Amino acid sequence: MKELGVIGLGVMGRNLVLNLGDKGIRVSVYNKTKEKMYDFIKDEVKGQSVLGFDSLEEFVSSLERPRKILLMIKAGEAVDSMIGQLLPLLEKGDLILDGGNTHFKDTAGRVDFLKGKGIHYIGLGVSGGEEGARNGPSLMPGGSKEAYFLVEDILLSIAAKTDSGPCCTLVGEGAAGHFVKMVHNGIEYAMMEGIAESYDIMRKILKLSPVEISEVFENWNEGELNSYLIEITGKILKYKEKGTERFMVDLILDKAGQKGTGKWTAESAFDLGIPAPTLSTAVEARVLSFFKEERQFLSKRFNRNYPKLEYGKDEVIRNLRESLLFVFFNAFVQGLWVIQGASKEYGYQVQLSEVLRIWKGGCIIRAQLLDFLREILQELDGEKLILKSDKALKYLMDRIEAIKEVTRLAKDFYIPVFAHNTALDFFFSMMEENLPANLIQAQRDFFGAHTFQRVDREGTFHINWE
Ligand code: 6PG
């Protein structure tokens, strides 16, 4: 009998199965397109205990009870349809896991629906792409403890390992796993945008070649900025098209795609009323990038009056490094705040420091900074807003002049830096006792009688302003 069933043999599914097999876990697989399943078993399975089935009935019967089935299929209707096909074949106490990038609200609905049928359900965030799935992803399961314990050993064995243990923990109740994975992606978008802005400044203002910028990123990766995204950026920038001297990055059209998880993070932040401007602006920047034709047309009509660069190259690069740390730090502050808000709203009971721990390896946003953030959270002792820690404030204050310089420089040279600007404005706003929201309240009351509160008296007020 097999310990785990996996449905869906796309890139992620196939690599996870091979990873499971390497850890000695006996796996049954099923795929809608039978040929793909046969090819996989024939060509890729080498010595692992993996068996393929072309009927769902036989696939389910091959599994030990309680059955554990991992869905690695496209998020959305396909998941509901598969659950519908599986239900008549399952028994009370069996478990389904969804390892896709599913919207957390869909997962919440499925948890409830299946609970009524006695079937456990885990929304499993999986990060690390192809490579991570094969050699150790970061796993973010969410659901009941009872459900998690059924697969804990399996998940721990395939997860990435760091000096803080395997990158897997039950992140919380209900749809917490998919929520945390979604925010992981929101932070991923912000970090990528911040990196892209540094690159843009280096190529346009410092006029560095891709390989020179690659060296800067390689150097940054040796220090505090050490992270997967900085590492791959270094590799990307020096990559030349095979057989030519052309840098691949220069040949790629500047339209950034997206599958939706960044947008969902921004939407969730709005829904929860938590400010996450650096995460949402990164989505905005990708959307804007798609207007290539308009940008081409307009760029020819915009006269730029470039100033003389007043700093040396090394100074600019130093400032860029410090500002990028400022951006990364704020992206994490905002993302963790959103998770905290959701945990409260939906009763997830997420342990933020555990989330940071399992992001240390395997996932796309793994970064040295995570250890520092964990240290801060541990010291805050229950208070979750990282900015309230003296250590966090010092860290940001130490970099404030650098990011002020970088945003100023970007403006002088007409370069958009959404992530840098919002990180700085988020920080300024959070450090400001008096925001101009009083005027906005007055305007709302003027035209819509929306009322306002006063600083000197309790109550709700309205004025006839004219
Ligand atoms: C990961 C990635 C992965 C995927 C995202 C990004 O954690 O392994 O986040 O889930 O690459 O969906 O996709 P988009 O940039 O296309 O939204």
**What CA–CA distances, in Å, run from 287 to 31, 258, 260, 275?**
34, 9, 11, 20
Please give the average per-residue pLDDT across 264-277, as a whole number.
Answer: 98
- DSSP state letter for 8: -
Question: Residue 413 falls within a domain, yes or no?
Answer: yes
Please give the average per-residue pLDDT across 82-100, as a whole number.
Answer: 98
Residue nearest to atom 1 of ligand 1 (CA): 127
Residue nearest to atom 7 of ligand 1 (CA): 127
Q: Read off the pLDDT of residues 413-436 as tens digits, 9 standing for 90 and up.
A: 999 999 999 999 999 999 999 999
Q: Read off the pLDDT of residues 145-154 as tens digits, 9 standing for 90 and up.
A: 999 999 999 9
Question: Residue 404 falls within a domain, yes or no?
Answer: yes
Strand 138-142 vs strand 161-162: parallel, antiparallel, or unpaired? unpaired
How far is Cα 168 from Cα 361, in angstroms, rounded to an integer?
10
Residue 66's SS3 state is coil
Please give the average per-residue pLDDT across 288-314, as a whole number.
Answer: 96
Spacing, Cα 182 to ligand 1 middle (Å): 9
Please give the average per-residue pLDDT across 111-120, as a whole number.
Answer: 97
State what percent of residues in the chain have pLDDT above 70. Answer: 100
Give yes or no: residues 188 and 275 share one domain.
yes
Residue 91 CB neighbours (<10 A): 11
Give yes or no: residues 424 and 295 share one domain.
yes
383 has pLDDT over 80: no
Q: Is the distance from the beta carbon of residue 261 to the nearest atom of ligand 1 less than 6 Å? A: yes
Active site residues: 181, 188
Q: Is the distance from the beta carbon of residue 285 to the nearest atom of ligand 1 less than 6 Å? A: no
Q: Read off the pLDDT of residues 388-402 as tens digits, 9 standing for 90 and up.
A: 999 999 999 999 999
Q: Is the distance from the beta carbon of residue 180 to the nearest atom of ligand 1 less than 6 Å? A: no
Spacing, Cα 309 to ligand 1 middle (Å): 37
pLDDT at 94: 98
Residue 70's SS3 state is strand
pLDDT at 384: 74
Going by C-alpha positions, the residue among 111, 137, 135 that lies closest to residue 126 is 137
Spacing, Cα 226 to ligand 1 middle (Å): 20
Q: Which of 123, 143, 170 is the last residue of a domain?
A: 170
Give how far the C-alpha of residue 184 lies from the chain's centroid of Cα atoms, to the nearest Å. 2
Q: Is the distance from the beta carbon of residue 259 to the nearest atom of ligand 1 less than 6 Å? A: yes
| Residue 163 binned pLDDT confidence (cut-offs 50, 70, 90) | very high
Question: Residue 176 falls within a domain, yes or no?
Answer: no
Q: Is the distance from the beta carbon of residue 138 to the nearest atom of ligand 1 less than 6 Å? A: no
28: enclosing H helix or E strand: strand 27-30
pTM of the full predicted structure?
0.97
Atom of ligand 1 nearest to the CA of 185: 9
Q: Read off the pLDDT of residues 202-252 as tens digits, 9 standing for 90 and up.
A: 999 999 999 999 999 999 999 999 999 999 999 999 999 999 999 999 999
The residue type found at 278 is: T
Spacing, Cα 78 to ligand 1 middle (Å): 19
328 has pLDDT over 90: yes
381 has pLDDT over 80: no
Give yes or no: residues 400 and 454 share one domain.
no
Q: Which of 145, 170, 195 is the last residue of a domain?
A: 170
Spacing, Cα 94 to ligand 1 middle (Å): 29
Give yes or no: residues 234 and 306 share one domain.
yes
Spacing, Cα 355 to ligand 1 middle (Å): 18
Q: Are 30 and 57 in contact (CB under 8 A)?
A: no
Give yes or no: residues 358 and 448 share one domain.
no
The residue type found at 117 is: K
Residue nearest to atom 10 of ligand 1 (CA): 127
Residue nearest to atom 11 of ligand 1 (CA): 129
Question: Residue 461 falls within a domain, yes or no?
Answer: yes
How far is Cα 215 from Cα 465, in angstroms, rounded to an integer?
61
Give yes or no: residues 229 and 301 share one domain.
yes
Residue 466 belongs to domain with CATH number: 1.20.5.320
Residue 417's SS3 state is coil
Residue nearest to atom 15 of ligand 1 (CA): 258
Atom of ligand 1 nearest to the CA of 188: 9
List, in sequence order, every residue forming a beta bridge with 41; answer none if it has no partner.
none
Residue nearest to atom 14 of ligand 1 (CA): 258
Q: Is the distance from the beta carbon of residue 127 to the nearest atom of ligand 1 less than 6 Å? A: yes
pLDDT at 257: 98
Give yes or no: residues 360 and 456 share one domain.
no
Atom of ligand 1 nearest to the CA of 181: 7
Q: Is the distance from the beta carbon of residue 93 to the nearest atom of ligand 1 less than 6 Å? A: no
Give yes or no: residues 82 and 140 share one domain.
yes
166 has pLDDT over 80: yes
Q: Which of 144, 170, 196 is the last residue of a domain?
A: 170
Q: Is the distance from the beta carbon of residue 131 to the nearest atom of ligand 1 less than 6 Å? A: no
Residue 239 belongs to domain with CATH number: 1.10.1040.10
How far is Cα 137 from Cα 282, in angstroms, rounded to an integer?
24
Residue 65 belongs to domain with CATH number: 3.40.50.720
Q: Are 265 and 185 in contact (CB under 8 A)?
A: yes
Spacing, Cα 443 to ligand 1 middle (Å): 41
Domain span at 81: 3-170
Q: Are 343 and 174 in contact (CB under 8 A)?
A: no
Give yes or no: residues 324 and 193 share one domain.
yes
Q: Is the distance from the beta carbon of residue 258 to the nearest atom of ligand 1 less than 6 Å? A: yes
pLDDT at 382: 74
Question: Residue 284 falls within a domain, yes or no?
Answer: yes
Average predicted confidence (pLDDT) for the chain: 97
Q: Which two tokens stand for residue 241?
A: 């098209």
What's the structural domain count of the chain? Answer: 3
Phi, psi of 29 (to 5 degrees): -125, 150
